[in-house]
Structure 1
Amino acid sequence: MTEVRQAGPERTPDGRRLRWAEHRVQRRAAFVAAGAVAVDEHGPDASAEQIAAAAGVSRTVLYRYFRDREDLRQAIADHVVNAIVDSVVPHLALGRDSTPRQIIGSAVGVIVGWFDEHPNLYFFLRARRTGLDAVENTLADRVSDLLRVVLLLLGLDEARAEPNAFAIVGMVESIGAWWLARRTLSREQVTEVVCDGIWHLLDGTARASGVALRYDEPLPWNQLESSGAGA
């Protein structure tokens, strides 16, 4: 009698196949991280041979994990973008005792430090505009969220948050590019210039609406709570 197999859900891949897939993902991630190291050391045009050497494999083995050169370089760009965002976002947290100087100085210090320590990675992203756009858009979204809270605290129109956020992020990137090309200021000096620019933009926006901010004083949380806006 012929056995009849009943239709059912697709069979789960066996353990060996799953382990192999996980191994490929891990190997690819390791090669991407090595690629970022190679670009950081050799420059935006780091070759596949240099990337393979940083990964400790041959060029042939390297390309078993990527479709082509573009796939490899895009993966490296995505890795760098995520690393930048992950390093900056924690510094954009707004606490009850946070002052504008602390928040601005903390975030800008990380960004300028990254410019200073990884210029080749910056120029790599700049050559691939989509990578730089990804950093700017993601950070601008996070800054916009922070500014929206600040504007609510001050009783100002929160619609100003997004354009101001993009203005801030664009200014930081432009000054960073200028600095890397010239290096006429120290790291500390350029950090101060960027912080001052951001503060004057925010302070000017507040003053235009009749609100006075204090650079070294916490934001007026009590005002938000008494208005019920934070509910």
Structure 2
Amino acid sequence: MAQQLSFDLPAKPAHGREDFFVSSANAQAVALIDTWESWPARKLVLYGPPGAGKTHLAHVWSAQSGATIIPAGDLVQADIPALARGHVAVEDCETIAGQTPAETALFHLHNLTLAEGHSLLLTAHAAPNHWTLALPDLASRMQGTPAVELDLPDDMLLTAILAKLFDDRQLTPAPDVIPYLVRRIDRSFEAARQVVALLDTAALSRKRALTRPFARDMLDNAGL
């Protein structure tokens, strides 16, 4: 039985391609990232719930293509012509809906990047037709962008996500902890993150090993 205790170390997310577990929930998205040079429109939207792997895949694509990654909210202050000289990944695109300067910046980045012969990856929680963009020309371009959804995790993917989250925090739970959590927690990426953070903090404060009885008690106490 694992006896490793939690230490006060920051989580260090691993964003390499080898760290991304492929299942039926995300296989189509991964295949499109792996074949990005063949995108017919040279652009793609990745969308799905928080923690679905959008940022991870953006980093995978950046490593493959040399792309710059930028949050949509930072576009107003960005040098758009300089960004457009290479491939670009823009994250959380729906968060700028209704913000005219940011929408205008994304519109120009979209046009300049493609005009320069480069590719554009965009991430969001929802498909582009749900972004409620105010700029009609931007809305039409986004809605015309090929999009792929990352689904909520199946058992296999949730198991891999939990294992990765524990590893990011340099924790080693007992072998029966992750199977127990897969059966117990909500089937979402956000729930997996919250539970691992809870167990990390609890194990540190109580100086306890991450066993199934300990995990059960902590989830019961938290009402999860």
Same fold? TM cut 0.5: no
TM-score w.r.t. length of structure 1: 0.24
Bigger RCO of structures 1 and 2 (CA < 8 A, at least 6 apart): 2
Say which one has the larger Rg.
1
Q: Which has the higher strand share?
A: 2
